[in-house]
Amino acid sequence: MNRDEAPDARNRILDAATQLFALRGFDATRVTEIADAAGVTKALIYYYFSSKADILDCLIRELVDKLTSIATDFVHESIVQMIKKGYLDIKPDRLSFVNEDAKDHFLRSLRVCCERVLDHAIAHRATLRILLLESLKGSSKHHNILLKIHESTRDNSEGSLYKAIVDADKDFTYSDDLRVFNIFFGYVPIVSFASYYDNYKKISNLTDQELRESFLNSLWIIINSMVSGSELLLRTKNIGG
């Protein structure tokens, strides 16, 4: 069901649940608390949702849909365009650009994209926090976002992100190292930053603007590393020591 066409009470329930699940976690949140916070009766919650878990499912589904569409946009608008235009070539052992202009162009569009992703993450930080909390629990299979992300790098089915990249560049393949890097130094910091946003803001005494800049600076260093270090990551070989 779409938020726009849904009854007001139903949306108030979802909003209240979002705040409470994010604050206390799903298990520690009582249906009564949601009802109170939403200004409705408990019974009405069961009119709109079949169970407490159903509210959570609904929230997660909304978020995943939104994230998927953002990711899809990014891949199609940036990477695929770059590859198709011939600026970028993902070789087995490195990202390869036709020239410095292409590289600059890529980095610039990546930067814009990162900012957009970060802003989205901050805007939906409560739901992301819920997702993070739930994904840490061993029980609930259907909230395993880790699995979803991982599969997105293998999923060859029509319309998938991976397929989109592979269609653009036949040689592209994810190395195990790249996956680890992507997840634990890409997704995880962004989701964590969003999840801890309010806490960290309070602790650090930074303004929204300063916090955003600060994180983007860090993220940028990582992205540069990834572009420069891509050679290493794509090769899946031990380095350093």
Partner DNA sequence: AATGAATGAGTTTTCATTCAT
Partner DNA sequence: CATGAATGAAAACTCATTCAT
Query: Interface residues for a copy of itself in 105-124 (CB under 8 A)?
Result: 107-108, 111-112
Q: Does 131 bind a copy of itself (CB under 8 A)?
A: no
By a kind-dependent CB cut-off of 5 to 8 A, residue 117 interacts, out of a copy of itself, DNA, none, with none
By a kind-dependent CB cut-off of 5 to 8 A, residue 100 interacts, out of DNA, a copy of itself, none, with none
- Tell me the Ramachandran region of residue 25: left when phi exceeds 0, alpha when psi lies from -120 to 50, beta otherwise: left
CB 14 within 8 A of CB 35: no
The span from the CA of 85 to the CA of 168, in Å, is 10
Instruction: Determine the residue type at 18.
Output: T
The span from the CA of 91 to the CA of 111, in Å, is 22
Instruction: Determine the residue type at 25.
Output: G
CB 220 within 8 A of CB 111: yes
Number of residues counted as binding a copy of itself (CB under 8 A): 64
Min dist CB 139 to a copy of itself, Å, is 6
Residue identified by tokens 């999840």 is: 195
Element holding 91 (H helix, E strand): strand 88-91
Instruction: Mark the segment that binds DNA (CB under 7 A) among 42-50, 91-99, 131-139, 227-235.
Output: 42-50
Min dist CB 107 to a copy of itself, Å, is 7
Q: Does 199 bind a copy of itself (CB under 8 A)?
A: yes
CB 93 within 8 A of CB 231: yes
Contacting residues toward a copy of itself, per CB under 8 A = 22-25, 27-28, 107-108, 111-112, 129, 132-133, 136-139, 144, 146-147, 150, 176-177, 179-181, 183-185, 188-189, 192-193, 195-196, 198-200, 203-204, 206, 210-211, 213-218, 220-222, 224-226, 229, 232-233, 236-241
